Amino acid sequence: MLHLHTIRLPAIPPEAANSFPFRVPAIASMVGGELELTADVTFFIGENGSGKSTLLEAIACAAESVAVGSDHLGQDRSLDGVRRLADCLKLSWRKRTRRGFFLRAEDFFGYARRMQELKAEAEAEIRAIHEDSERSALARSLASMPHSRTIHDLRRSYGDGLDSVSHGESFFTLFKSRFVPDGLYLLDEPEAPLSPMRQIGLLSLIKMAVEEKGGQFIIATHSPIVMAYPGAAIYSFDGGHIRPVTYDEAEHVSLTRDFLNHPQRYLKHL
């Protein structure tokens, strides 16, 4: 289901035109225009530094998305410049939603660490309560209940813990546990910790979230596997402007295909 419909950048503050992120060519090209989202799954693609992740982060801030990572979006110092762009964006909604999340691959490990810390803190509280001999058995049981609930909820969502399996498996577990009805999911390079097979599995999860839960996805990616999602809209940020491309027109796809067909053509220059 399309929740977010259009993204506009009416103007750039004159004093900020030569500062990041407004000086990024693809971002500057948006001034006075409109980026229309026409599919349940939209991909932003382009070389590093092209602006795709910058715009995704700004959309997340403007939409007040929940961050799955080590910091709240409003407190993440790495987003200081992006928040200035977010303040200038105008988002149009078909159905306003505050569900879903924003996730950068590099933030996942901070999130996994925090979940483990929550579990350890709850276990420590339970031990301290049961060692308090001045409380009755009933009082100890009642005092332990909220901490036991925390451990139960974490185990129900993540099993033995996101840090108890490989990075790819734990990343995959997070996706499965956090998809909710009517969510807007803003994902920055979710393929980073995933094997090719897991990337195909991610496509299946996205399809389920779209068809069964009414989800919408905007994904910045370099992966030809991920961007092969059927019916997705693909926007390239290369060349200093944002333009729609087909899957076969995407440089990531053509380069990967050519490399796989003719690896020696590239390796001979090493």
Q: What is the CATH number of the domain that holds 67?
A: 3.40.50
CA distance 253 to 43: 13
Residues pairing with 7 in the sheet = 35, 91
Domain assignment of residue 69, given as a range: 4-107+180-267
Confidence of residue 162 (pLDDT cuts 50, 70, 90): very low
Whether 240 maps to a domain, the answer reads yes
More confident residue, 109 or 3: 3
Q: What is the pLDDT of residue 270?
A: 76
What is the total count of domains within the chain?
A: 1
| Domain assignment of residue 138, yes or no | no
Coil, helix or strand at residue 244: strand
Structural tokens at position 109: 């490990």
Q: What does DSSP say about strands 233-236 and 216-220: parallel, antiparallel, or unpaired?
A: unpaired
From the centroid of its chain, how far is CA 231?
20
Report yes or no on 18 lying in a domain.
Answer: yes
Which residues, in sequence order, are CB contacts of 250 under 8 Å at separation 6+? 45, 224, 227, 234, 236
Report yes or no on 143 lying in a domain: no
Is residue 236 domain-resident? Answer: yes
For 26: left if phi > 0, alpha if psi spans -120 to 50, otherwise beta; the answer is: alpha
Asked if residues 108 and 189 have their Cβ atoms less than 8 Å apart, the reply is: no
What is the signed CA dihedral for 91, 94, 95, 101, rounded to 10 degrees? Answer: -50
Residues shown for the chain: 270
Whether residue 98 is contained in a domain is answered as yes
| Span 26-60, pLDDT tens digits | 999 999 999 999 999 999 999 999 999 999 999 99
pLDDT band of 266, cuts 50, 70, 90:
confident
**Mean pLDDT of the 11-26 span:** 91
Distances (CA, A) of 162 to 37, 113, 124: 33, 8, 19
Show the tokens assigned to 250.
């995407």
Is residue 53 included in any domain, yes or no? yes
Q: How confident is the prediction for the chain on average, in pLDDT? A: 83
Asked whether residue 70 is domain-assigned, the answer is yes
For the ranges 63-77, 224-238, 252-266, which has the lowest average pLDDT? Answer: 63-77
Global pTM value: 0.78
- Is 220 in a helix, a strand, or coil? strand
pLDDT of residue 210: 95
Distance, C-alpha 253 to centroid of its chain: 22
Alpha carbons 149 and 180: distance in angstroms, whole number:
21
